[in-house]
Amino acid sequence: MYSKVSDHTIVANLIRRLRVTQRAMERAMLGVSLRDKIRNVEIRSRTRVTDIAQRVAKLKWQWGIEGWTLGSQGAGMAPRTGKRSVGRPPTLDGRH
């Protein structure tokens, strides 16, 4: 049976996996293992690498803002103004 998973859960799992992978790479950069029990904050301060989750959130926010501002350029992303037309839209050859 197929279980429905929300998009938020999928994105949260991807971000968590990215964070784990990034921390593993940072530990490899420093030559540190998990057995050394060094906190992630300390590792982050030593490597001075930006957090991938913060970067993703920033880019996602910027993309969302750009998507709404593209309407003036004809990209079809602007919020609708006025009323919608009634009926089925015509096809390219003019028939319904």
Whether residue 90 lies inside any domain: the answer is no
Regions in the chain scoring below 70 on pLDDT: 1-4, 64-80, 94-96
- Assess contact for 39 and 22: CB atoms under 8 A: no
Whether residue 93 lies inside any domain: the answer is no
Whether residue 91 lies inside any domain: the answer is no
Whether residue 44 lies inside any domain: the answer is yes
Task: Please give the pLDDT value at position 31.
Answer: 94
Whether residue 2 lies inside any domain: the answer is no
- Maximum pairwise Cα distance, the chain: 72
Task: Please give the pLDDT value at position 73.
Answer: 52
Whether residue 92 lies inside any domain: the answer is no
DSSP string, 47-66: HTPPPHHHHHHHHHHHHHHH
Distance between CA atoms of residues 14 and 12, nearest Å: 5
Task: Please give the pLDDT value at position 28.
Answer: 93
Q: Is 96 helix (H, G, I), strand (E, B) or coil?
A: coil
Task: Please give the pLDDT value at position 83.
Answer: 81
Structural domains of the chain, count:
1
Global model pTM greater than 0.75: no
Range of the domain at 38: 7-71
Whether residue 23 lies inside any domain: the answer is yes
Task: Please give the pLDDT value at position 68.
Answer: 55
Identify the sign of the CA torsion 72, 73, 77, 83: positive
Whether residue 39 lies inside any domain: the answer is yes
